[in-house]
A and B are shown apart, each in its own frame.
Chain A
């Protein structure tokens, strides 16, 4: 059986060896970090964004690189999932984007601060994370810009304007899952007349008070553009 001094030596030698290896690996880690995190892209705006991230304790609810509060969405690859337009709209008034759902504090950011945060999140999104977060089976996290399945006769609609919708709705198999898929909705049949859809886009809560669809504050020309786009989708009769 091991003696007390034997046990002590085991402790001391083991600790020293592990400690030294740990420090050696720390050196290797620091040599690899600049290229893995694209330090060259870390401009003033990204750094300001990080400061805002810390000052507002975003980590108290959200997770970034998987670390945080588990109360709000993981944001490591958020810029793949949500367009800058969407994030911009959201950060101006978070509760408005998710009516009646889990609340985020409205920090009343200035436009410059919002840009900094988005730039910071874009930079984080490019960090080589060894594959985290895992791609879900349905491939819902796919980048919106690479969507080539959209079949519409309307060329008028700007892709980033549509990206506001695709945070929740699916189109051509990609997009969010919070709202009904545009692929499944039959625009022009049933109650989905052009007038109804336009009225809906103007103020969803006026038609259905408990809906999760946000009032995006769209202007008449935007609404016209979107409805034209939707009613020209190929799956419509």
Chain B
């Protein structure tokens, strides 16, 4: 159950995230095998290509996840529809185009060769335009709606992230200056403003999941983001130790980056304390797992492991070795990857109004533990390899390649751990696919918000009593119900948008049969007869259209005035486009599913 129509766009951003994440793992394996000496793809995908694709896919899927999260959270926080929701779809498509072009280009040597910012300059401009559109939609919505702390911290983080992309575009002939500006982007993102985004999303999730008083949660949000900036801004100094910048950075970077774990410790304590304080019954336990997992592992990965090699005396030896890879993997996983997965786990049942809760949590539970144990083991493998490298190469002066031969064995361990991790992530993706498409009816705004939650709990907990539930649902017209015979009175309640989607589902047999068989088995009540729905659609479309428009008038006051026909046209076209996109995605990952089985 979502409260606003336009929140649905979040689903497509999450879907893009899932696809890019899966692809990222493939390139990770290519690199791990190359480290073991099996660089069989050297002539097609040399290591630098694999690495560039691996890191850029990470950034892309995380940013796509952040955008999806923002599109989901901001309407809920501001209490209104997104302004210009269509533009959000345009922005998504533009984002995907830029991403696909960049990734393809990397395979043909079209890149900038600057770590993490390899996207070529002409695409950089597109990135900027795309992000400006995104910031405009989010900012405009915030401006014309209710302003909450969570919403504004989230917006501030996103705005600053967009602005901080610009220093990376400053041209220079001096390698030191080049590196200097590059860290303005990379460091001030991941150890600065992204933490704001992270804090805000964690805050939103904890508010929703635990039911703790907003004043308390948001007070701690301020404290955490204050620590983030107090330590993180000057902590950029730990990237300026050895690149040709002045010596005072050793002192400043050392002191402030040593304080950086405090912000992450704050997040961990915050998460645990709010979870303990919360009196609300948790109806989506897996969302809680991922949220707490994120807040705790971000402290371990980003905070503790970062601290472990941030002091200049240590960093002199560990800088530029696999020790950095060790810290990087657990930090990104703990702080940002798990955050997106938490957000997706929270949002999907609402977006899809799919009562897979109890049943899905098994797969999601497996995904949680497999991916976490996998990632922690990977981190240990990197740690052993990295520390060995430091001693042999940096301290005893062995030749680089000779050392790499010595540590090959740790990459065998790494690959084993990565396989477990991949198994976990694939389970998560399969679970994501099985939720189906966004089809949730928008909650009637005239009713109290608490009621929405009540419907959730009915929707997700009362499947066994489908008859009973159906009756309840009919009363509050909240959940869309395609179980019964389609008689006229039921039809009027069905949201036209959903039907459009069904129309476009026609050629999506693979996905469809898959999910409907799931439903048949477990929730007979939720199975759906395509033919019935289609014929209904053709016959009764006019009546329904009117109904729908009435509904929409109430909810979507932010949408520009468009006459009904155009509105409808647009819905169909746009959704078709995106559906097509997604068909590929889902089929792609669906095969992965087979592999596992």
Contacts and interface: CB of A to CB of B under 8 A. Distances in A.
Q: Is the interface of B mostly helix, strand, loop or mixed?
A: helix
Interface stretch (A26-34, A144-152, A189-197): A26-34
A25 B255 CA distance: 15
Contact of A14 (B37, B177, B230, B395): B230
B513 interface: no
Given A10-B222, A102-B401, A70 B321 contact: yes
Interface string A102-117: 1101000000000000
Interface string A60-75: 1101111111111110
Contact of A57 (B37, B111, B229): B111
Contact of B173 (A47, A66, A139): A47
B176 A127 contact: yes
A29 B233 contact: no
A136 B396 CA distance: 6
B48 A21 contact: no
Contacts of A72: 47, 400
A177 B397 contact: yes
Contacts of B393: 136
B172 to A, nearest CB: 9
Contacts of A8: 149, 222
A66 B319 contact: yes
A68 B234 contact: no
Interface in B327-356: none
A15 B498 CA distance: 46
B460 interface: no
Contact of B174 (A4, A19, A21, A37): A37
B233 A7 contact: no
A7 B319 CA distance: 36
B245 A67 contact: no
Contacts of A15: 226, 229-230, 233
B316 interface: yes
Given A4-B219, A73-B401, A132-B319, A28 B248 contact: yes
A33 B236 CA distance: 17
Interface residues of A, number: 70
Contacts of B325: 70
Interface in B160-202: 173-180
A12 B152 CA distance: 13
Contacts of A21: 233-234
Contacts of A65: 175-176, 179, 242-244
B394 interface: yes
A39 interface: yes
A131 B583 CA distance: 54
Given A63-B320, A67-B243, A22 B234 contact: yes
* Interface-centre pick from A4, A61, A176 (highest chain B CB count, 10 A): A4
Given A58-B48, A58-B113, A61-B51, A130 B320 contact: no
A177 B109 contact: no
Contacts of B149: 4, 8
A133 B394 contact: yes
B248 A25 contact: yes
A93 to B, nearest CB: 15
> 5 closest pairs, A vs B, by CB?
A60-B48, A136-B397, A66-B320, A132-B242, A7-B222
23 contacts: A7-B219, A10-B223, A14-B226, A15-B226, A19-B233, A30-B177, A33-B174, A47-B173, A54-B113, A57-B113, A59-B114, A59-B115, A60-B46, A64-B175, A74-B320, A74-B400, A101-B401, A103-B39, A105-B46, A133-B242, A138-B397, A139-B397, A177-B397
Interface of B: 31, 34-35, 37, 39, 42, 46-49, 51-52, 109, 111-115, 118, 149, 173-180, 215, 218-220, 222-223, 225-226, 229-230, 233-234, 236-237, 240-250, 252, 316-317, 319-322, 324-325, 393-402, 404
Given A7-B219, A53-B113, A139-B397, 12 more contacts: A11-B222, A18-B234, A50-B173, A60-B46, A66-B319, A66-B320, A67-B115, A67-B243, A70-B325, A105-B42, A130-B242, A133-B394
